[in-house]
Amino acid sequence: MNDEVEISPILNPSPEGKDLNTDAKNSSAKKSSSEKTSDKKDETVTVKIDAAGIQDRLIALPGDAGNYWNIEMLNNKVYYQKNSAGKDAQLYVYDLKKKKETAIGDYNTYRITANGEKMVVTKGSNYYVIDVPSGKADVDDKVDISGLKVYVNHTEEWTQIFNESWRQMKYFFYAPNMHGVDWDAIKTKYAVLVPYVKHRADLTYIIGEMIGELTTGHSYVGGGDMPKPERIKMGLLGAGYVRDASGYFKITNILQGANWSDALRSPLTEVGVNIKAGEFIIAINGQPTNKVTDINQLLVGTADKQTELTINSTASTTGSRKVLVVPIADEKQLRYYNWVEHNIHYVDSVSNGKIGYLHIPNMGVDGLNEFIKHYYPQITRKALIVDDRGNGGGFVSPLIADRLSEQLVYFSMVRNVTVGTTNPEVFYGPKVCLVNEYSASDGDIFPYRFRALHLGKIIGKRTWGGIVGIRGSLPFVDGGFMDRPEFTSYTADGFAIEGHGVDPDVVVDNDPAKEYAGIDEQLDAAIKELLDQLKTQEKNIPPVPPFPDKSK
């Protein structure tokens, strides 16, 4: 199967209109010059690195704390990309002579040509060729790649990708015994299907089935050379609505937002909107809602755009008002925010203020932020529910487990404050951990740590059971990927968690019908467990002792 496809340049694209014959002539001239000097004796330069005490010869370059990557050295200048706190990622250059850092621009990435004279930068999906800059660089003449094409034999390419997938697993899979699977036989089993592949999705499926024979979590394959149709964003209002007998749509509920954050913006709760649950959406951008089958038909393409809603307290155009809102493209984060807030208030209400609640969505940046955001404001609660359900994994479980396992060593007080506070700020009371079958990866490891550190009971369902880790793959020729499970954890007793998960101390499964109705049986079980423990294990901060009298 031969197809003509477009490709993108990586280095040294020829600017539009450049005479390629000139390059050939220059190349020939250089070759002739080099031949004249070929008789000269080669001069060998030997570079020796004195490793002893090398750490004492380090020199720190000034700069903000942040994430630095794509670092290149050229003559007396260092080029790098940086993303520091409160600032967007940009390309920078640091001049070692002038000891000065300068922002070149907000480019996606860059490459310096082999001769050190030109730089290729990308902005969006466009490529630009510029002289290697010493300071800020503006670009306006993008490289025209519309005529840059290559013929691809998909049959040969897909065969190579299949073989490369098999090879990467053979030499990088964490267990050299391939879990007892005859890996050569597995290749033979699936290779016979490759000639029948007619679409990249078919190849992805075959590779997925092949690596699935190893029965290991984190074995993912995807991407590649597939059509990328333009998507039309769906506008969402962050609200629920039902069709009224009149044909208009009545707002049943409005999701509360943290409107200072773009990720948690709720369109109908923003300042000046003043729309309430129970009101009717009469029209959207002038189109009556009682004339469409689904109100969402009128919200197609409205995401992040000013949209006019006609609102009324009754199902009528008479007395209606027009309101401008900006719909969002995704309600996932907004719904998650409302779910967590509901759980916090529910636990607080049912326990009469005694029990705190926090949820950890993953073991990455978001998970750590959520933990810190909700842990310290509830530090004075008598007990704590740590909800690990649906945790997508990551790498910060040791940090959270360490914080939860800190021991209280003494109390502190401040003048004019009647109650002593803990020092350091640690949770002074019983805890439980909620888990389910979607507690995965480092979300598996966290409850394992929770139990090993004797932090409290684990409640819910057995966790996902996949802790063999990944760190990417060598890219396939068509840009696809396959994650290779390369490393894992084990205990003195052997490998743990992988393929089984962590069993809870108290097994509770949420009934889907009840959960849909808003009843969280696992959360209720956690509340009951802690209230029972508080009957005998409630800890109170002792009062401030009498102050010393040093007059005697």
Q: Residue 474's pLDDT is what?
A: 79
Cα dihedral across residues 446, 452, 455, 457: positive or negative: positive
Within 10 angstroms of residue 107's Cβ, the number of other Cβ atoms is 20
498-512 average pLDDT score = 97
Q: Residue 66's pLDDT is what?
A: 84
- Are 461 and 503 spatial neighbours (Cβ–Cβ below 8 Å)? no
Q: Residue 415's pLDDT is what?
A: 87
Name the band, by pLDDT with cuts 50, 70 and 90, for residue 179.
Answer: very high
Which residue, 255, 279, 260, 263, is CA-closest to 271?
Answer: 260
Q: In this model, does residue 291 exceed pLDDT 90?
A: yes
- Both tokens assigned to 31: 């070759």
Which residue, 481, 499, 498, is CA-closest to 220?
Answer: 481
How far is residue 86's CA from residue 222's CA, in Å, rounded to a whole number?
A: 33
Q: Residue 40's pLDDT is what?
A: 54
- Are 251 and 279 spatial neighbours (Cβ–Cβ below 8 Å)? yes
Q: Residue 140's pLDDT is what?
A: 84
Q: Which residue has the tokens 């391939």?
A: 178
Q: Which residue out of 157, 331, 498, 529 is catalytically annotated? A: 498
Name the band, by pLDDT with cuts 50, 70 and 90, for residue 42.
Answer: low
Domains 155-222 and 351-466+501-537 agree in fold: no
* Residue 498 falls in the annotated catalytic set: yes
Q: Which residue has the tokens 């490393």?
A: 487
Q: Domain spans of the chain?
A: 1-17+61-147, 155-222, 239-328, 351-466+501-537
How far is residue 504's CA from residue 436's CA, in Å, rounded to a whole number?
A: 9
- Both tokens assigned to 440: 């995965």
Report pTM: 0.81
How far is residue 278's CA from residue 314's CA, in Å, rounded to a whole number?
A: 9
Q: Which residue out of 266, 351, 439, 441 is catalytically annotated? A: 441
Instruction: List beta partners, residue 249.
Output: 243, 281
Q: Residue 35's pLDDT is what?
A: 53
43-47 average pLDDT score = 87
Name the band, by pLDDT with cuts 50, 70 and 90, for residue 19.
Answer: very low
Q: Which residue out of 164, 165, 213, 218 is catalytically annotated? A: 218
How far is residue 536's CA from residue 539's CA, in Å, rounded to a whole number?
A: 9
Write the pLDDT tens digit of every residue in 372-430. 999 999 999 999 999 999 999 999 999 999 999 998 888 888 888 767 777 778 898 99
How far is residue 547's CA from residue 61's CA, in Å, rounded to a whole number?
A: 52
Q: Which residue has the tokens 């409107």?
A: 259
Gyration radius from the chain CA atoms: 31
Our CA dihedral for 466, 472, 474, 480, rounded to 10 degrees, sits at 90
Q: In this model, does residue 26 exceed pLDDT 80?
A: no
Which residue, 278, 177, 200, is CA-closest to 1?
Answer: 200
Average pLDDT, the chain: 90
Q: Residue 230's pLDDT is what?
A: 87
* Residue 439 falls in the annotated catalytic set: no
Residue 181 buriedness (CB in 10 A; 0-12 / 13-18 / 19+): middle
- Are 105 and 130 spatial neighbours (Cβ–Cβ below 8 Å)? no
- Please name the amino acid found at residue 207: I
6 vs 72, more confident? 72
Q: Which of the four CATH numbers 2.60.40.10, 3.40.50.300, 3.30.460.80, 3.90.226.10 does domain 351-466+501-537 have? A: 3.90.226.10
Q: Which residue has the tokens 């007059």?
A: 551
Within 10 angstroms of residue 464's Cβ, the number of other Cβ atoms is 23
* Residue 8 falls in the annotated catalytic set: no
Name the band, by pLDDT with cuts 50, 70 and 90, for residue 9.
Answer: very low
Write the pLDDT tens digit of every residue in 81-128. 998 766 678 999 999 999 999 999 999 999 999 999 999 999 988 999
Q: Which residue has the tokens 């966290």?
A: 446
Please count the residues of the chain: 552
Going by DSSP bridges, is the β-strand pair 456-460/506-507 parallel, antiparallel, or unpaired? Answer: parallel
How far is residue 478's CA from residue 77's CA, in Å, rounded to a whole number?
A: 34
155-222 maps to which CATH number? 3.30.750.44
Q: Coil, helix or strand for 390? A: coil
Name the band, by pLDDT with cuts 50, 70 and 90, for residue 22.
Answer: very low
How far is residue 450's CA from residue 502's CA, in Å, rounded to a whole number?
A: 11
How far is residue 158's CA from residue 150's CA, in Å, rounded to a whole number?
A: 16
Q: Residue 321's pLDDT is what?
A: 97
How far is residue 489's CA from residue 468's CA, in Å, rounded to a whole number?
A: 7
Q: Is the peptide bond before 424 cis (omega within 30 degrees of 0)?
A: yes
- Give the lowest-confidence range in 43-47, 253-257, 295-299, 345-349: 43-47
Write the pLDDT tens digit of every residue in 136-175. 988 888 999 888 888 999 999 999 999 999 999 999 999 9
DSSP assignments along 398-413, one per residue: HHHHHHHTPPP-EEE-
525 vs 491, more confident? 525
Q: Residue 139's pLDDT is what?
A: 87
Write the pLDDT tens digit of every residue in 199-248. 999 999 999 999 999 999 999 999 999 888 888 999 999 999 999 999 99
Q: In this model, does residue 33 exceed pLDDT 80?
A: no
Write the pLDDT tens digit of every residue in 433-489. 999 999 999 999 999 999 999 999 999 999 999 999 998 777 899 999 999 999 999
- Give the lowest-confidence range in 60-74, 256-270, 291-305, 490-504: 60-74
Q: In this model, does residue 62 exceed pLDDT 90?
A: no
- Please name the amino acid found at residue 91: L
- Are 165 and 211 spatial neighbours (Cβ–Cβ below 8 Å)? yes
Fill in the DSSP letter of residue 247: S
- Are 441 and 217 spatial neighbours (Cβ–Cβ below 8 Å)? yes
Q: Residue 508's pLDDT is what?
A: 98
Instruction: Please list, in sequence order, all residues whose beta carbon lies within 8 angstroms of the beta carbon of residue 309, skipping any fewer than 6 positions away.
Output: 275, 281, 283, 284, 322, 323, 324, 325
CATH topology for 239-328? Pdz3 Domain (2.30.42)
Name the band, by pLDDT with cuts 50, 70 and 90, for residue 190.
Answer: very high
Residue 492 buriedness (CB in 10 A; 0-12 / 13-18 / 19+): exposed
Ranges assigned E (strand) in 443-517? 456-460, 469-470, 481-482, 485-487, 490-491, 494-495, 506-507
Q: Coil, helix or strand for 446? A: helix
Q: Residue 129's pLDDT is what?
A: 94
